[in-house]
Amino acid sequence: MCASTRLARPRRCGGGALFPGVIATQTRKQLMTRKPSRPTVATIARDLGISPATVSYALNDKPGVSAAMRERVVGHAHEVGWTPHSGAQALRRGRSGNIGLVLVRDPEEVSREPFYSAVTAGIESSTSVHGYELMIRFVRGGADAESDVFRTWSHQRRVDGVVLLDLAEDDHRPAVLEALTMDFAVLGHYSGPESFAKVMTAEADDARTVVEHIIERGYDGCIQLTGPAQYAHERRRLELLRSLCQEYRIPHSTASGPYTIDSGLAAFEASDLLLSSRPAVVASSDLIAIGALRGAQRRGVAVPEQLGLVSWDDSLIAELTVPSVTALARRPFEMGRLAGDLLVRQIEDAGTPRTELQVEPASLIIRESTGGL
């Protein structure tokens, strides 16, 4: 027999015996420590002894409520910390309150890529100010898989607009979005018949900045390591640098691959270091640049004495590696912020004409990999 039998009738004996008094005490403690729920229209109505409809009219500044009652409701709402539910507001406007971003990339790869992280943060920072949530999807099936996501989002009314990155030469995604009557913003140099907002980079100026810098530092050749060749911005950079090298009469070679350190290493190891007596590598991203730097170290090539190195994207990685890497500070956060802001304007004002913004040319941060500092 349990020692507690004389005191109370337990529901069961043993180490897990439960007693009515203990249960009651625990319940009281839980009630005392339970956090108050988020104030709602219903709780405000209950507090003031009026109908939820009256509260709703007062908070939304609709007719049918006296000025005194509106002041009373608004004052109490402020006192209890009530804030409007963004989802409900969006539904009243006939919108979802979401902005979509699809990345045709490996999520783990993107997590290591500072440029995409900064762009995404910029988009989120501007859209959240306007009360929109950013929805991000990763797909591996290319542009077709991305278009399928757009169709699903449109059918389910999940997003009000999307931001497009990494456009290809004959990119069909804008036409898909136009057919779905979905607003979108492009981060890049795409031109087409669709109605969209666009943020462009000053790539021609940036390319000249890079080539003139390597020539000024005494490098007499350019080994260009690009990202995936299907992207329009990579082809444009390739054409720009090749043309500038011809203008300055220095040899030019190229190799392409993903935006990873391993890709940069492989591309560098396959490159022709005998292109000139003292070439410079121009990498399309900081991670590709780090791969090239590792390749140079493996082959015993001194940077910057025998080989220069410039990254098209600046980051903390480029700054902290040894030697530190000269890079273009292109402000990807600002690019994303502008794209998100233009998209929201387009969503909320259907009469807004197509808006195009070009960011200022990037500044070159000169570091040890080209003899700086």
What are the φ and ψ backbone dihedral angles of 282, each rounded to 5 degrees?
Answer: -115, 110
Burial 226-255 (b: 16+ CB within 10 A, else e): bbeebbbbbebbbebbbebbeeeebebbbb
265-269 contacts at long range (C-beta below 8 A, 24 or more positions apart): 265/291, 265/292, 265/294, 265/295, 266/291, 267/225, 267/291, 267/292, 268/223, 268/225, 268/292, 268/294, 268/295, 268/296, 269/295, 269/298, 269/299
Domains of the chain: total: 3
Contact (Cβ atoms closer than 8 angstroms) between residue 195 and residue 349 = no
**Per-residue model confidence (pLDDT) at position 94:** 55
Query: Which parts of 42-159 are beta strand (E)?
Result: 98-103, 133-138
Please tell me whether residues 280 and 298 are part of one structural domain: yes
Please tell me whether residues 189 and 213 are part of one structural domain: no
Please tell me whether residues 325 and 207 are part of one structural domain: yes
Q: Considering the chain, what is the average pLDDT of its residues?
A: 85
Please tell me whether residues 214 and 184 are part of one structural domain: no
Please tell me whether residues 215 and 196 are part of one structural domain: no
**Per-residue model confidence (pLDDT) at position 141:** 79
Please tell me whether residues 320 and 227 are part of one structural domain: yes
Please tell me whether residues 58 and 123 are part of one structural domain: no
Would 2 be classed as within a structural domain?
Answer: no
As a whole number of angstroms, the distance between CA 240 and CA 235 comes to 9
Please tell me whether residues 318 and 339 are part of one structural domain: no
Would 290 be classed as within a structural domain?
Answer: yes
CA distances (Å), origin 252, targets 87, 111, 229, 278, 345: 54, 32, 17, 12, 43
pLDDT tens, 125-164? 999 988 899 999 999 877 888 999 999 999 999 999 999 9
As a whole number of angstroms, the distance between CA 213 and CA 327 comes to 11
**Per-residue model confidence (pLDDT) at position 112:** 83
Contact (Cβ atoms closer than 8 angstroms) between residue 125 and residue 84 = no
Would 168 be classed as within a structural domain?
Answer: yes
Helix (H) or strand (E) holding 308: strand 308-311
Q: What is the mean pLDDT of residues 232-244?
A: 96
**Per-residue model confidence (pLDDT) at position 13:** 43
Would 124 be classed as within a structural domain?
Answer: yes
pLDDT tens, 94-127? 578 999 999 888 888 878 889 999 999 999 999 9
pLDDT at 63 exceeding the cut of 80: no
Q: Tell me the two tokens of residue 11.
A: 């529901």
**Per-residue model confidence (pLDDT) at position 5:** 41
Please tell me whether residues 221 and 254 are part of one structural domain: yes
pLDDT at 352 exceeding the cut of 80: no
As a whole number of angstroms, the distance between CA 299 and CA 294 comes to 9
CATH of the domain at 62: 1.10.260.40
Please tell me whether residues 209 and 219 are part of one structural domain: yes
| DSSP three-state, residue 231 | strand
Cα angle at 211 between 210 and 217, to 5 degrees?
90
pTM of this structure: 0.74
Domain end residue (candidates: 61, 84, 107) = 84
Domain end residue (candidates: 25, 55, 84) = 84
Would 89 be classed as within a structural domain?
Answer: no
Would 299 be classed as within a structural domain?
Answer: yes
Would 8 be classed as within a structural domain?
Answer: no
CATH of the domain at 354: 3.40.50.2300
Q: What is the DSSP letter of 351?
A: T
Domain end residue (candidates: 51, 84, 117) = 84
Would 287 be classed as within a structural domain?
Answer: yes
| DSSP three-state, residue 106 | coil
Cis-peptide, bond into residue 323, ω within 30° of zero: yes
Please tell me whether residues 160 and 258 are part of one structural domain: no
The more confident residue out of 40 and 225 is 225
Please tell me whether residues 130 and 183 are part of one structural domain: yes
Domain that holds residue 230: 203-329+363-370
| DSSP three-state, residue 97 | coil
